[in-house]
Amino acid sequence: MIPPEEIDLLAADGNVLMVVDGDVRGVRAHLYLDQNLGADRHPWPDIARDRQLLGAQYALIRRSVVEARRPRPWNWPEREAPRLVVMLGGSDPRGLTGLVAAELARIDHDLRVTVVVPPGAREAVARRLGADPRFSLIETTPRLVDHLAAADLVVSAAGTTAWEICTLGLPAVLLAVVDNQRESLARASELGLCVGADVTERDDLGGLAESVRSLIADEPLRRRLSERCLEHFDGEGRDASPRRWSGTSTLDDMMLAVLQARCSSTRLPGKVLAPVLDRPMILRQLERIERAARIDGLVVVTSVDPSDDPLVEVLDGEGIPTRRGSLADVYSRFAGVVDEFGPEHIVRLTADCPLTDPEVIDLVAQRHLESGADYTSNALIRTFPHGLDVECVSADAFRRLGALGLGPREREHVTLGLYARPEMFRIEHVVREPDLSGLRWTVDYRSDLEFVRRVYAELHPSDPAFGTRDILALLESRPELVHTADDIGD
């Protein structure tokens, strides 16, 4: 793998696309591509969704394969001897090619089988087959597409080459031979793209010969497999990926949203888990944060205090990355994720703002980048409703702040030390007109929570992505819903 520091150098001259097989391995890139079937079921929670290309629709199919693709389902040939291709990947890490070939040799049928052998394995495979004239052995070749295009059936590992087979519309028996092929095989079988077998934990290939024999005999099955493959693999993945480059940040601008949360609120304990339309309030807020286009990753920081165990359990169940640290020293929690994730900027948010607006997040983040400020906020000069607070901090400024010997209050309130030292840190303010600072949309008290619940009940069912403009329109039409500091109550 290319060292991460070399990828950073590449990024200085252009965008970086990382092709991933399940694990990003901590590498920073503009876009991440996992072309395995089922990848869209498991997005990476700490990477912005618009930076993830997940699933077979993004499969990087070679142009030669697309050109050999047939527009209609595969027709069984008139010839008596079906042509098979066997291929288990370029390296065949478990050495199963010979076992597969020997199993197919048990089929009592006139076949023409081309076996693609990994480097150095020809003699071992040949010994297993003996002098069977139905089999020919070849090594990996640039002309492999020609062999596939001339085949009637394929036996293949369920890796990325399988998607080329599907693009051609070939009926196939796919084998999961290593662990990272299991998900793809399960998904391919579920979609009716293949006959499949998981052999990751066994060398016994019993049943393979019967599967191939059944495919040879079952024309309706072959046709269904071919139709489904052509339906799900159109060969346009290599063109779909470049269309996603627009709007991505440079690596130097990468922003990590850090949501600060705890259950031990003194005024409304457990509020972050209070239900809002049958979902914990913090999950409602996270849904909104994830819509922000300028956010490249997201992590929740909470404490190691036992009171926060239920919060972590909920977040873990949703696949939300969570880090725990000191209950009182919140700065150290943020410092930990800055060191771990390595962003250029962080966006600080607090988990008492379930009406967070992704457009406001993007507005403050963009101003932060354009101004070159150390710290940018829409909360110091308050003109936005209380509850739409966004703070952006450069990682460099955050580290410089930590070297100043902060007192307990500054370590608790994280960014206080920045805006309290305007002579050391460049501060940028974001304001709006008209001034809406009299509106209260945060949650500290029971009455705040009831206001938020009413807003969600009115707007979320018809538009889950409702924003500030929608809330203001609602309050204009229903003035009795307006909530201010005078309405706090208990």
Cis peptide upstream of residue 71 (ω within 30 degrees of 0): no
Residues above pLDDT 90, as percent of the chain? 51
Q: Which long-range contacts (CB under 8 A, 24 or more apart) does 414-419 make?
A: 414/260, 414/330, 414/331, 414/334, 414/348, 415/348, 415/375, 415/377, 415/391, 418/374, 418/375, 418/393, 419/375, 419/377, 419/380
Average pLDDT over residues 174-202: 86
Q: Report, as an integer, the average pLDDT of 244-260.
A: 67
| This prediction's pTM | 0.57
Q: Which pLDDT score is estimated for 427?
A: 97
Q: Mind listing the pLDDT tens digit for each residue in 104-134?
A: 998 888 889 999 998 888 899 999 898 899 9
Name which residue leads in pLDDT, 305 or 184: 305
Dist. CA 71–CA 227, nearest whole Å: 10
Cβ atoms 405, 391 nearer than 8 A: no
For 73-103, what is each residue's pLDDT tens digit? 766 666 678 899 999 876 677 888 999 999 9
Top mean pLDDT of 33-37, 240-244, 337-341 is at 337-341
Question: Which of the residue ranges 128-142, 240-254, 280-294 would you say has the lowest mean pLDDT?
Answer: 240-254
pLDDT exceeds 70 at position 410: yes
Query: What's the average model confidence in pLDDT over 240-246?
Result: 52
pLDDT score for 246: 46
| Residue, of 332 and 49, whose pLDDT is higher | 332
Check residues 445 and 140 and name the one with the higher pLDDT: 445
Task: Give the gyration radius of the chain's Cα atoms.
Answer: 29
Q: If DSSP states are collapsed to H, E and C, what string results for the chain? A: CCCHHHHHHHHCCCCCEEECCCCCCCCCCCEEEECCCCHHHCCCCCCCHHHEEECHHHCCCCHHHHHHCCCCCCCCCCCCCCEEEEECCCCCCCCCHHHHHHHHCCCCCCCEEEEEECCCCHHHHHHHHCCCCCEEEEECCCCHHHHHHCCCEEEEECCCHHHHHHHHCCCEEEEECCHHHHHHHHHHHHCCCCEEEECCCCCCCCCHHHHHHHHHHCHHHHHHHHHHHHHHCCCCHHHHCHHHCCCCCCHHHCEEEEEECCCCCCCCCCHHHCEECCEEHHHHHHHHHCCCCCCCEEEEEEECCHHHHHHHHHHHHCCCCEEEECCCCHHHHHHHHHHHHCCCEEEEEECCCCCCCHHHHHHHHHHHHHHCCCEEECCCCCCCCECCCCEEEEHHHHHHHHCCCCCHHHHHCCCHHHHCCCCCCCEEECCCCCCCCCEECCCCCHHHHHHHHHHHHHHCCCCCCCCHHHHHHHHHHCHHHCCEHHHCCC
Mean pLDDT across the stretch 221-233?
88
